[in-house]
Structure 1
């Protein structure tokens, strides 16, 4: 039973919104400013689970979070897709021409680059969290400073939205993992998606052979991400997401991959949020 979750950011952040949608609004949350703190929180059993952004449809994969999940043997128990709408907000009674500095998370600024090209007088400054900037603007009554954050952050911290949905591509989604230190209790019959990690020898066709195994076992590859092995230059680990209709098909593929690949590891078995 999950009673509390760790999130990156403060209330009003996109991780907070995911906690409300995946669980419910009454879920107890612990605010952490970094993903390292998020992981530390569940490793120390301060929280039952954690929510971690893993990829964005505009900015791509969040590589460090793959490494955190792998290095600390965390288990993915679920996923959630969130429509990300970035709004420019500041204290009331200001216009966009009054704004001199905009602070936000690097991923948020990256997703809004085209918008800010119209306003060369604005200095963009990377910060730890979208909503935490909004909170700071309110608590310190910062004029001529704006945040890029969610509608919820604007409401919670009583800021005025100067421009709505400023992300470059209007359909902007982020995928989040829900992780625990122990594997999921989801019954096999409900599991139709999995995340696995493996390494391969530098041999011609080694990756293609593994991908053929997935195809032969009726698995659909939905994501493949390589991550360099820091201690072994030019060697890579592969993080792969697959979907399937029956758990037995996945089980068969898993048994073959264990034999064919090096350091094969299951990162999580869960429900496909896209169905």
Structure 2
């Protein structure tokens, strides 16, 4: 009969030998890194790694071991690259600075654009984030807001990116990838959704409720309790209140803020209609200037990957290996490239941190495309 303890003892001996050989290999990798530092050669040589993995795979016996050997050496090679990126940083081989550090953001006597109309939550986020010493104007769409900043007609745009109940605002992520703007700040707003109708309306009169799709989703349980009501999607919550007022139809109601109701002279027909009492919306502040404040603590990036097995893990491993805390990951399909995705990642850190530099260097080198969206 096989003795389990003897097997374990033998494995311990083998593992110790593996550690010895691993450290020997890593020492040689450091010598390789020194050569690459002197010559300017890139750390990642994908064609050489591919050929090397093929050779190593075929040295193993049996299909299971071949797959295992391939996975093992993929990880060893990835660890080697991480050490080389670290040595590049230690030797002062810096990548070009993508963003410029500043002591503070200029927030007074600036022009700010928001999507929607006065009374919208974007307007409330703007008023919360900026001082009163600003010029502001509104536009119809999120793209319009991005365009105003890109063309220099506004210094900042305020855009919703995520709601704790309804999830991400997908269109904003796509625009962030399209426009070369930087996230320089964020503002959390806790929407207080109410049902607004004409001054002479009552709940019994309502047949149609209009609002932004996110607000309709956030109040879904309340709306389900009124199956006879139709819903109509609009571009923003305050705009839906404005539309109800302009139509003058007491069978219509809007889901919007209490402030929007006061602004347009509407009656509150129902309060507390959002089923999540902790409902909150995160807004981002974007600028054309590629800057970040020196005490920034959150980094947003996006990257695109080769359509191959394990590539997402390889990217995220740079964040994990450098001890960084990833707080969010989202994916969006890349237009025109079937089944390929762009990944958006938030993690804690500052662009001056060595761990952040190491992680970003590795991701940029190994992704098809990577961009820092902001440090804020």
Do they superpose with TM above 0.5?
yes
Shift of 1:129: 1.6
Residues 1:222 and 2:327 aligned together: yes
Residues 1:36 and 2:143 aligned together: yes
Selected match of 1:238 from 328, 343, 350: 343
Aligned counterpart, 1:10: 117
Shift of 1:17: 0.5
Distance in 2 between residues matched to 1:194 and 1:224, nearest whole Å? 12
What secondary structure, in the 3-state scheme, does the structure 2 residue paired with 1:15 have? helix
Selected match of 2:188 from 69, 81, 84: 81
Please give the TM-score of this superposition, normalised by the length of structure 2: 0.68
Distance in 1 between residues matched to 2:207 and 2:307, nearest whole Å? 51
Q: Is the 8 A contact 2:292 2:375 kept in 1?
A: no
1:32-78 Cα offsets, whole Å, 9 max, x none, are 12112111221222211101111111111111111111111111111
Shift of 1:217: 1.4
What secondary structure, in the 3-state scheme, does the structure 2 residue paired with 1:152 have? helix
Shift of 1:97: 0.9
Distance in 2 between residues matched to 1:176 and 1:10, nearest whole Å? 16
Selected match of 1:195 from 300, 315, 329: 300
1:150-171 Cα offsets, whole Å, 9 max, x none, are 1211122222211112123221
Aligned counterpart, 1:182: 289
Which structure shows the higher strand fraction? 1
Long gaps (5+) in structure 2: 1-105
Deviates more, 1:164-173 or 1:46-55: 164-173
Aligned counterpart, 1:168: 275
The aligned runs of 1:70-149 (5 Å cut-off) are 70-149=177-256
What secondary structure, in the 3-state scheme, does the structure 2 residue paired with 1:128 have? coil
Selected match of 1:56 from 134, 158, 163: 163
What secondary structure, in the 3-state scheme, does the structure 2 residue paired with 1:237 have? strand
Distance in 2 between residues matched to 1:136 and 1:226, nearest whole Å? 34
Distance in 2 between residues matched to 1:28 and 1:111, nearest whole Å? 31
Please give the TM-score of this superposition, normalised by the length of structure 1: 0.91
Deviates more, 1:145-154 or 1:162-171: 162-171
Residues 1:267 and 2:373 aligned together: yes
Shift of 1:87: 0.7
Q: Is the 8 A contact 1:13 1:129 kept in 2?
A: yes
Selected match of 1:256 from 362, 366, 369: 362
Deviates more, 1:63-72 or 1:20-29: 20-29
Deviates more, 1:249-258 or 1:64-73: 249-258
Long gaps (5+) in structure 1: 271-275
Q: Is the 8 A contact 2:292 2:374 kept in 1?
A: no
Shift of 1:139: 4.1
What secondary structure, in the 3-state scheme, does the structure 1 residue paired with 2:159 have? strand
Q: How many residues align?
A: 268
Structure with the greater alpha carbon radius of gyration:
2
Which structure shows the higher helix fraction? 2
